[in-house]
Structure 1
């Protein structure tokens, strides 16, 4: 639903572009299998998502839409959506407790983890030439769940968290080529919890609006007893994205 909404916004924005000179509208997206590792816990010892649950690669989709303008004092804006999902089935090598449920060694546990993140970023561009520098704030809504199911136990914990994050990005154009290099960082630390993500990228945009981007993206999510859930998760890997710019 959210991806469909963003795609619709892209079409509407492009349709009105001719009536709004001075605006720059950009978007893009990608889907790939990211490396996924770390731990989760709730009322017991940490559970390794790789060794205990058998996870390791997660399917992740990312799509974004942004608008920049020449009006002073009013920030530029971007909306971005992440969807990460992983499931596995594994025979336990040890017993553990999760959300007051006991999972016994030698039994099979089916696990699921999903994280949906919808964010809005407002940013200023104090430097905008061959070198472009953005600074601002990101507000990110995280929705998701962790579920563990065995023959005798079934537990599910939901994640519903809103995070304000500092935002910074830089981009260096290579004159006359359409190519660029850049990177981005978002992060926050609060009440013992931290979340940050970054990417580095190399891209090229043609004279016909379309482009490609190759990069590396990493997300770190460390929650400290948020809705009874503690996490120390790392998700990241290389990606290939299609981009669009007006």
Structure 2
């Protein structure tokens, strides 16, 4: 009797391990994002408009992610994403303003760069996994950028390189038997006088392990610190390829 019980236990354990191994999954995606820039920056008494003063318009950026899901209930899944988010322009000023203690005057040609490139490290749990998929967790967004202005004999910059913790929600809705799906993803935080909101929605078509996605992404950052301020909105449509295995 004991031998039978032992054999059944071994069989059950083997079946459990095999089942868990079957639900280990990985996914990856690559996107091209048509970015429209708007907003202002400030380091001193004057607010500097990104469109009127710096000549910003549209730019194209890239974003990549990889995610790994495993069957261990107590441990979170992991997702890493990198987004290129920078723009550079040269523009002739039509007014005077002060930035980082230097006065930029009308008719100066200012070379500027705004870089909000970031890497996301996300730990999340899968709450639903059927025709509706829902993940919730925590993202740490690591900025490694700056706002830099330069003209003849003058140059100043605001560093944007702080890690920011954000709430993470990722949902997908499959239309059964069609390969079509809708998705929505959000990373958000608001604290004191600052906030970061990054939201995207998309429609996709999946054939086999490959999916094609078309969507819209809106990124808002509102940061204030010791007289320095950056209020920037970047939004636009994206197209991507996703692999889910």
TM-score range, shorter chain: 0.7 to 0.9
Q: Given the alignment of the two structures, is residue 219 of structure 1 paired with residue 229 of structure 2, yes or no?
A: no
Deviation at 1:156, TM superposition (A): 2.1
Whole-Å separation in 2 of the counterparts to 1:21 and 1:101? 61
Q: After TM superposition, list the pairs within 5 Å mapping 1:5-16 onto structure 2.
A: none
How does the TM-score come out when normalised to structure 2?
0.88
Report the 3-state secondary structure (helix = DSSP H, G, I; strand = E; otherwise coil) of the residue aligned with 2:22.
coil
How does the TM-score come out when normalised to structure 1?
0.87
Whole-Å separation in 1 of the counterparts to 2:195 and 2:59? 21
Whole-Å separation in 1 of the counterparts to 2:23 and 2:138? 23
Report the 3-state secondary structure (helix = DSSP H, G, I; strand = E; otherwise coil) of the residue aligned with 1:55.
coil
CA offsets per residue over residues 139-172 of structure 1, 9 Å max, x none?
Answer: 1101101111112421122211111101112111
Computed over aligned residues only, the root mean square deviation of the Cα atoms, in angstroms, reads 1.6
Structure 1 segments (4+ residues) deviating >6 Å: none
Contact 1:187/1:197 (CA < 8 Å) preserved in 2?
yes
Contact 2:215/2:237 (CA < 8 Å) preserved in 1?
yes
* Structure 2 residue aligned with 1:234: 233
* Structure 1 residue aligned with 2:87: 86
Contact 1:214/1:241 (CA < 8 Å) preserved in 2?
yes
* Structure 2 residue aligned with 1:141: 142
Whole-Å separation in 2 of the counterparts to 1:94 and 1:140? 36
Unpaired runs of 5+ residues, structure 1, are: 1-19
Report the 3-state secondary structure (helix = DSSP H, G, I; strand = E; otherwise coil) of the residue aligned with 1:41.
strand
Q: After TM superposition, list the pairs within 5 Å mapping 1:103-142 onto structure 2.
A: 103-142=104-143
Q: Given the alignment of the two structures, is residue 190 of structure 1 paired with residue 196 of structure 2, yes or no?
A: no
* Structure 1 residue aligned with 2:7: none
Deviation at 1:101, TM superposition (A): 1.1
Whole-Å separation in 2 of the counterparts to 1:213 and 1:206? 12
Contact 2:102/2:154 (CA < 8 Å) preserved in 1?
yes
147-156 vs 75-84, which deviates more?
147-156
Whole-Å separation in 2 of the counterparts to 1:236 and 1:132? 25
Q: After TM superposition, list the pairs within 5 Å mapping 1:64-75 onto structure 2.
A: 64-75=65-76
Contact 2:33/2:63 (CA < 8 Å) preserved in 1?
no
Instruction: Count how many residue pairs are aligned between Structure 1 and Structure 2.
Output: 226
Q: Given the alignment of the two structures, is residue 52 of structure 1 paired with residue 53 of structure 2, yes or no?
A: yes
Deviation at 1:33, TM superposition (A): 2.9
Unpaired runs of 5+ residues, structure 2, are: 1-20
Report the 3-state secondary structure (helix = DSSP H, G, I; strand = E; otherwise coil) of the residue aligned with 2:126.
strand
